[in-house]
Structure formats: structure tokens, C-alpha cells
Structure 1
Amino acid sequence: MPAENQNEANDSLLVDAITTNMGIADGDAADLRLFYTMVQNGPSPMAEVFKTALIYKLIDIVRGQDTKIDSLRAQVQQLVDGAGTSITSDRSLMAEINAAGKAVVMQEGRIAFDNNSLLRDMKIELRNRTTSTLLLGLLDPNTPASAASERSLRQGLGLGASYGKQYARRQIIAILNVALSKATRTISSKMLGHEDRITVPFMLRVLHVRGFGRDNEDLLAQDDDAPAADANDENQGGQQKKRKKKPSVGNDFFSAFKTDLLNKNKMWGADYKAPGWVGYLADLVAYERKRFPNDTLTLLPPKYMAKAVSSEPATPTPAARNQTGFLAGFGASANAFASTSQASSPAWPTFSGMGSYNA
């Protein structure tokens, strides 16, 4: 008998040690001791009842936590919705949206420049670049948002798309009178945020769009179309800042560029490597070489340089130059332009054509 009492005392001390080491609260420790008394002589029906009661208690706790989580989720959503309704007045958010607008406008294979097309690509651009929890939440298709937040996001993206076109148009005006190589670096830096990853298709797009700009300076000087009004926006009648009169939707510079681009694609194919496009772009390169002779354009493949090379005045042979003139008797140097620029031109990079970029 004393041995049994000693064993019970030892077991009781062990239970106390377990509750202490595990940090079990006093009330729960008492329940654990009660359970021990039920099972110390083997399984009993009351022990099973006790375990079942604990399970129900855990279920009640989980239900309570679910309710709290749902409440917290609702509060977070209210905060997101509240912040989402003020996107256009948040400078940091609009700076990110405007940067995305600039980037997609000058995508090298872009064909569609209407705001709806730009908005789709801007969302992709923002998902890849933004660190804003608010924007990531609003751009997540799996996260529900209020109608007010969605409307505010559409308005912000619409403003960003128009800003991107206006900014691009101003940059095109600014580069009309500089060499193509410098112009391409400038556009890449201003529109994409870098100038160290210039590709041949991107340089050809800059060559193309500013060539079109030179031929349409009246459109280039006009503001772009404003974002279309949101039919679901009950605040449309709010006070707006006065703006300069703009051309109607579809009659701005980039709409005209799209129309011209589609017409040429229909004739030649949607690829700058197609023969018709090569001939057209080679004419623009010849103009560039004539106007900016020091810009060797070594990035461009030889076929785009062909007309520029053929338009260069032929270099007289040493014998011909030595026959007459004040250089008679002097040796002649070879014309380095054609051989140097063509020999140093890199191979054409992988380019799937403009059709694959159609937004």
C-alpha cells in the first residue's frame, strides 16, 4: 500500500512538471490532473467523455477565431477600399502608374494605343514592378474589391495611359534633332528607365515613330486623347481643372500612327524584317546618315544600312585622286564607313515580329 501511494505521488509530481514545462494555464492543468485520475487505473467511459468534451471545446475556440479572422478581414478590406478610392490623389501611387504608362507606350512591338489596350498591359507591368501592398491587392484578380476601388483604379490607370502617351509625344519632339543612337538611348532612359539594354527592334521602333512624327508634326504638337469618362462614376460632374482642347478620340498622334502601322502591316506583313519594312526603314536610315553622318549606327544590321551606304559619294581611287588637284602626289585612305559599320554590326537578335506584340 505505501508503495502504491508513493507511485501515485510520483505520478502526480510528473503531471505537475509536465503542466509547468509546457506552460499550461492553471485551469487547464486542473483538467489534466482530473483526466489523469480517470485513466490511472486503465481506460474508462468517463475518460472518453472527457476527451470528447475537450474536442468540442477546441471546436468552439476555432469557431471563435474564425469569427475574429472574418471580422479582421472585413476591417482590412474596408481600409483597402478606403485607400483605393483615393488612388488619383496619392502621388506615390500615381508615380508608379505613370511609369507603367510610359513603359507600355514604347513597347517595341506595340500596335494598339487606345487606353483600354494600354490598361491591360499596365496592369501586368505594375504587378511585376510595384511594391505597394494596396496596388498589389487591387490588381489581384482573386481579391474582391469594392466598386469604388475598382472605379478609382480604372481612373488612375486611364490617367496613367494618357500621361504615358503625352510624355512619349513630348520626348519624340525633343529627339527630332538629335542622332538616332542618342535618341534611342534617351527614349529608353526616359520611357523605360534604362539605356543599357537597347535592342535592334527597339531602335527601329524609335526610328519609325520619329520618322512618322517628322511627317506629321501637326499631330505631334497636339495633346493626346483624354481617358474616356467612366459611365459608372457618379462623381463625373465634380469640379475639373480646365484643360486645353484636345483632338477627339482616335484623331491624336498615336491613333494616326496605329492606322499607318496597320496599313503598312497589311501591305508588307507585321515584321520589321519583312522586305517592304526593310526598304521603308532603310530610307529613314539613309536620311539619318545624311543628316547625322557621325552616327555610324553600328547596332543596325547591314540590310537597313544598304541605302545609306549606296547614297554615300563614291571614294575616288588613289590613282584618280593623285592625278589632279592639290592632293596630287599624296596617298589616299580607304573609305572606312561601309566596311567598318557593316563588319561591326551584330547578328540580328531573336525578334518574333510586331504581330506577336499586338495588345
Structure 2
Amino acid sequence: MDEQLRRTQTYGVDPVELFFDLVFVFAVSQLTYHLRDHLSGRGIAQTAVILLAVFTVWYYTSWEATLVRIERTRTVAMMVTVLFVGLFMNAAVTSAFTGSGWNFAVPFLLIQLGRGLWTLLNAPNAIWRDHYRRTILWLLTSSPLWVVGAAVDPVHRLYWWAAAAAHDLVGTWLGHPVPGRRLHSQSVGLAESGHMLERCRLFLIIALGETILSTGVAIAAVPMTVMTLATGLAALIVTAALWMIAYGGPGHLVVRHLEKTRDPIHATRMAGNVLTVMVAGLIAAAAAFEMAITHPHGHPSAALSLLLFGGPILFLLAQGWYLWAVPRINPRRWLVGSAALALAGTAAGALAPPYAALLVAAAASAAAATVITRFAPTPAEPARGDGHRH
């Protein structure tokens, strides 16, 4: 592959891309409210299914705008169209499993199939056109599951949509192969992979901002007392700790890997997959913050503890896995931090009222962030470009 294509160049994130992101941060808020109001195993599963669907729309659209270049008029038009349709899709998030499923499924399928066809017609070369033919085949295969799920009773909708979301997730992870044909990403030159990585980084910080917004809304909903100050501050400490972990660690080593690897697309695709899990962690934490701030003296709750500590654990494990799988950074500190949070959560869930559990989570998250970011990690081995990624 040409050296110029191997080296990842970036171009600036366009304002229309950030404008587009706001509609999907709205979806993060909707998912937080849904999880808070349906705190059960079924509610968690519903939240996960809709998150996968919504994030698939964000990631595919952002990736395809990167592929075709956002500064082109037709790409801006595509992105704005998805923005408008996506607003109605995201507005239906909280009622997707209680009311009409069509309000969510119809705009979702319109975006997925319409944007996929647009990308097929505008792909920059034959390799990408062939890839998007296969992508549309995968989308057409999962579409009946979304349709049936929208048509059945809300009680049974979860099963159909979970199967559809799992199908779409597998397709994304595997690069939408069909027998005898698949995308060998290390053989495709895409100089803008670094741009998509930056898109993921910016979306994460906007999602962190939504967590702060949820905390502020919870603080505004209750009288300003010493307890409100304590719980509100603790929630902000957890959020700040996650921000430190995301942006105060080995980010420069990821960029260095992206510049040297022969397969920058693989690094970028993995970033998108991991971002889904990190956003899930933020949704769980934000829902727990609202519950602890508005009902600080409630009974000890295993469910609340699961969200309060499980959210940061998901965040840490996802980032640690990416750093191990892509730039080969030893994830030991992320594993230790996750284990410490799990132990603290186990104790708090059994013994502590919500306000105390939140204070413990703040202390544990701050300690984990300090350990992870204090010393700059080094790669476990040189960045790989071994050519076997797809």
C-alpha cells in the first residue's frame, strides 16, 4: 500500500457534524430516562437494544460522511436528512416498548436503508461499492425482524428487536461478509481514518456533558440542602473521573498507532464498537445519579448499586480492552480499577443508602482515575500492522 495512504491524515470536524451529534445526545438523554423509569432486568435489556440501534445510525452515518467527505454538498444533504428523520426516531425512544413500535422502527429503517443506498451510489471506489452492497444485504436481512417487532404486542417486542439488534451488531463487527466475499480493511487506503477517531472522541465528551446535564436536572428538582450539595458534588466527581480516564491517559499512543499501522480502519472500527459500551456506562451512571440525588435516604438497593458502579466499570473495561486490542497497552490498571469499583459496589449495594453509595462511588472512581492517569502507560509491544485484520 502507498505510504501516503498508510499514514493517517485528518481534516477538521465540520460544524454540521457537531450539529448532527446533538440529535443523538438527545437519544442518550431519552435512554437515561427510560432506564431510570424501568429499573429491572427487562428495562436494562430494552435500553441496551435501543442504544445499539441508535448508535448504529450515528456511527454508520458519521463513517459514511467521512468516507465520502463531509465538505461535499451531497454529503451535507445526506447528514441533515438523517438528522431530521433521526429526531423523530429518538423522540420515540421512551415509548418504543410501551406504545406503537412503528414510531421508532419506521424512521430507523428509513435511515438505515436509505443512507446505505446513498453510500452505495456515492462510494469512492469499487471496493467500497462492493462492501456497501453486502452491507445493504445484511440490513435487508434484519429489517423483517424490526418490522415484526413493531407489529407485535409490546410484551413480545423485546425478543424480536433484540434479535434484530444482535444481527446488526454481528454484521458491524464482522464487516458485513457474505460467503466468499468480505472487506479486507488492511488493503483499503483511507486517509481519513483519523477523522473518524476524532468524531468518536468528540461524541464521548458530548455524552459526558449529557451526564452533567442529567445531574443538574436532578439537583434542580430537589431543595438545595447539604445532602443535595453532597450528592451533586459526588456525581460530578464520578463524571470528572471518567473524563480523566478517557482523555488524560494514553491517547497520544493511540494516535501514534494510527499513524504507523497498516490497518487504520480496524483501529477506527474498534473505537466505534467500544464507544457504544462507554456510552452505555454513562447512561447507567447518569440514571443512578438522578435516583441518588432525588431520593438520597432510600433503602439500600442492589439495582441502584449495579448502575452506580457498573456504569463506571463498563467504561473502564471498554477503554482497557481497546487499548489492549489496538495499540497493545497493558490494561492492568483498568482491570484493577474495575475490580476495586466492583468490590465497593458489592459492599455499598448491601449496606448503604443511596447517598452513601454515591459517595463511595465518587471516592472509588477518583482513586481509579488517579491510578490510571498518574503514570503514562507504554505499549506492551510495538504497534501492530500484521495484515490479518478485516
The alignment's TM-score, normalised by the length of structure 2, stands at 0.25
Name the structure where helix makes up a greater proportion of residues.
Answer: 2
Higher relative contact order (CA 8 A, sep 6+): 2
Larger Rg: 1
The alignment's TM-score, normalised by the length of structure 1, stands at 0.27
